Amino acid sequence: MNNIKITNCRIFTFNEENEIIDQGEIVIQGDSISYIGKVRDNHDAAARESCTRVIDAGGQVCLPGFINAHTHAPMTLFRGYADDLPLMTWLETKIWPAEERLKGEDVYWGTLLSCLEMIKSGTTTFNDMYFFMEDMAKAVTESGIRAVLSRGLIGLDENKAALGLEETEELIARWHQSAGGRIRVMFGPHAPYTCQPDYLEKIMKKADHYKLPLHIHLAETRFEVEQSLELYQMTPIEHMESLGLFEYPVVAAHCVHLSPNDIEILSRRNVAVAHNPGSNLKLASGVAPVPRLLEAGVTVSLGTDSAASNNNLDMLEEIRLAALIHKGVSLDPTVVPAYKALEMACREGAKSIFWEDEIGMLKPGYKGDLILMNLHKPHLCPLHDPAAHIVYAANSSDIETVIINGEIVMENREIKNMDEEKIMYHAQKQALALTGGIADEGAVD
């Protein structure tokens, strides 16, 4: 069993007291934190000897690992393939036709590429919705990352809709709580415009049977809202409440176009919102009313969405965007302050994926999911406010060490359990085959 001690660091715990510990120390025994506090000069000798690794952090900042609350990981294969298009055009003319050609091998390599990118930018957990989930789960297992997986459910074709539910049940049976507890499963109805009410009712019955949450896209575009009003005389949020979807734990991605009544429903029903500022800006979907959601007491986390619509999986970039764009839109520099933006990527992320009992905070008994960030850099000097520096000035390359479930998966920027060149080679090969591109002669096997 690995026992790791990290000493001489400034710790942002994001615990209930929002405690920040200077000259702190963390001990991870197995997969969980056993001690967090001030450096102990007279630490018990037996405990010292039991540590298989001692990391002197040299004054670095320690944070909980970032939680990416909404992704489509294998879509890294479409990064840069369909840029500068509106959402529905992007989906209907580019993405969906390419996805029709997907095979399990594509999803496997695309997921590994995503895991590699996420770990190198400090993400330790991601919440995903896609297809070929067996292959995705294998990639997650190999990478060492933590994930919540949902088989995307679309009800436009009766046979495919039934198959989606069957595959979800297979995913639950084989992979829920697998990989040492790193993998969990949710139900993944894609959106109201791809899941008719009768199909949503079937999904809800299954969710009730398995006692698992749901992950859905809601109110992402103005067109979606207008379509819902025309079909049902209700907004997507009102429609989902009328069907009883919010009787279950739900994380709703996007929630850009919301009425005051929508916000009241989300608050009253304890629906978590995964805010995706980068993707929403790039697809010109709009800017979610995050300050109003926060004022209403809604849990708001952060997600990157896919690398096809972002175009990266860098949570630090999402944190910065979340802190900046709402200031500009509201003309109020006090909304979404730096610490709150970080909180959205850590503690609120854990709440959004219903894993707040084990991750999102650094405290005894919680999983050993954390990152070490080096702030001793010219672009971070002088150091007045570490939280502000992380949000407004730091780069993901400043993250030097990543630990997940008590395992060091990156140290000094070196990935420990994945072959970067091999993954990039295969991802490039699979992506070009899917999109009809030309192979790169310089690729390395």
Alpha helices for 32-157 (secondary structure H): 45-50, 87-89, 96-99, 104-120, 133-143
337 — pLDDT class (breaks 50, 70, 90): very high
Of 10-14, 217-221, 302-306, 440-444, give the lowest mean pLDDT range.
440-444
Of 93-102, 191-200, 224-233, give the lowest mean pLDDT range.
93-102
**Three-state DSSP class for 211?**
coil
The length of the chain is 445
Task: Give the residue extent of every domain in the chain.
Answer: 3-64+364-412, 66-352
Two tokens, residue 328: 């500009």
Q: Is the pLDDT of residue 183 over 80?
A: yes
Amino acid at the residue 362: L
Domain boundaries 66-352, CATH class: alpha beta
Same fold across 3-64+364-412 and 66-352: no
For the chain, give the percent of residues with pLDDT over 90: 89
436 — pLDDT class (breaks 50, 70, 90): confident
Averaged confidence pLDDT in the chain: 94
| Alpha-carbon distances, residue 42 vs 11, 27, 35, 242, 399 (angstroms) | 20, 15, 14, 60, 30
44 — pLDDT class (breaks 50, 70, 90): low
Average pLDDT over residues 81-110: 90
pLDDT for 269: 98
| pLDDT tens sequence across 154-163 | 999 999 999 9
Superfamily holding 3-64+364-412: Urease, subunit C, domain 1 (2.30.40.10)
| pLDDT tens sequence across 276-330 | 999 999 999 999 999 999 999 999 999 999 999 999 999 999 999 999 999 999 9
What contacts 139, CB < 8 A, 6 or more positions away? 107, 108, 109, 111, 112, 115
pLDDT for 297: 98
- What are phi and psi for residue 48, nearest 5 degrees? -60, -45
Q: What is the pTM of this model?
A: 0.95
For the chain, give the percent of residues with pLDDT over 70: 96
* Residue 15 backbone class (left: φ over 0; alpha: ψ -120 to 50; beta: rest): beta
Q: Is the pLDDT of residue 42 over 80?
A: no
pLDDT for 47: 53
In degrees to the nearest 10, what's the CA dihedral of 189, 190, 196, 202?
Answer: -10
pLDDT for 440: 40
What contacts 137, CB < 8 A, 6 or more positions away? 149, 171, 174, 175, 178, 179, 183
Of 103-112, 202-211, 434-443, give the lowest mean pLDDT range.
434-443
| pLDDT tens sequence across 392-423 | 999 999 999 999 999 999 999 999 999 999 99
pLDDT for 435: 87
What are residue 102's DSSP bridge partners?
none
Amino acid at the residue 420: E
Q: Is the pLDDT of residue 204 over 60?
A: yes
Better pLDDT: 54 or 40: 54
Note whether 320 and 124 are within 8 A (CB). no
